[in-house]
Amino acid sequence: MTREELQKKVDGAGPWFHSIDFGDGVVASGTVGPEVLQQSFDWLCLPELKGKTLLDVGAWNGYYTFETEKRGAEVTALDSYCWNGSGTGNKKGFDLAHQHFNSKAKTIELEVVDICEEKVGRHDVVLFLGVLYHLKHPLLALEKVASVADELVVVETAIDLCSVQEPAMRFYPGTERAADPSNWWGPNPAVVLAMMKTVGLKDCKMVHQKNHNPEQGRAVFHGYVA
C-alpha cells in the first residue's frame, strides 16, 4: 500500500479524536494532536509495563492501547459509547490502527458500569482516562473499575472548583462545559482522591495537574490496590 493510499484509508476511518501516527508521514487528523498526546501520555507517570496486563477503559481510537502495548503490556481495550455509534465516534479508526500495528490487544465492547471480573478479567494496571466526568454515576463507575485492578488504577479527568479545598463536584445539567452535553461533572482534585479512597484504593495521590484557568483544568491520579 502506498503512502497516499494509506492516508486515504486513514482519512476515511474517521472521525478521529486521537491523532495517531501511522508512520511514513501518515497521521490521523484528530482533535488532539500528536504532540499533545505524547505529552499527555508522559503525564500519566506510568510504571514499567513490560509483562503487565493492562485494561484501557474508554479506548476510543486506541492511542493509549497501542502506546502501552509498545511498552510491553498485554492490553485489553474497552469501550462502548465511542464504538457503538452512541457518541460522535465509531470503531473504524481503532480497527484500522489495530490491523496496521499488528496489535494483539483484545477488545471488549461494554459499558463502564457493567465492568466485572467475569466479563473483563483482572488486570495489573487499569487506565481510566477522560471518562469519569462523562458518566452520570461516577462513583459507581470508579468502583467497577477498581474492582478488576490488581495493582494500580490511573484516573485522568477534567477538574473544576479547584479553589475549593473540601471534596466537591460541579454538575453540568446541559452544555455548560465546553458546549458538550456528554460532560456531566466537574470534580475537584479533593473529591477524586476521596472517591478513589472510598472504592478501596490505597496511597491515592495526584501525579499531575494542569489548569487552563484558576478553577478548571485536567489532572492525573494514581491509586493502588495494596
Please report, for the chain, the start and end positions of each structural domain, with discontinuous segments joined by +.
Answer: 40-224
pLDDT band of 96, cuts 50, 70, 90: very high
Query: Taking CA 113 as the corner, what is the angle to CA 61 and CA 162, rounded to the nearest 5 degrees?
Result: 75
Give dist(CA 44, CA 90) in Å, integer.
25
Give dist(CA 16, CA 221) in Å, integer.
26
Per-residue pLDDT tens over the stretch 14-50: 999 999 999 999 999 999 999 999 999 999 999 999 9
The pLDDT value given to residue 87: 77
Give dist(CA 19, CA 62) in Å, integer.
10
In this structure, what C-alpha cell is assigned to residue 101?
Answer: 500495528
For the domain spanning 40-224, the CATH number is 3.40.50.150
In this structure, what C-alpha cell is assigned to residue 180?
Answer: 458538550
Per-residue pLDDT tens over the stretch 130-181: 999 999 999 999 999 999 999 999 999 999 999 999 999 999 999 999 999 9
**Above 90 in pLDDT, residue 226?**
no
Per-residue pLDDT tens over the stretch 185-214: 999 999 999 999 999 999 999 999 999 999
For the question of whether the overall pTM of this predicted structure is more than 0.85, the answer is: yes
Q: Which residue has the cell 497501542?
A: 66
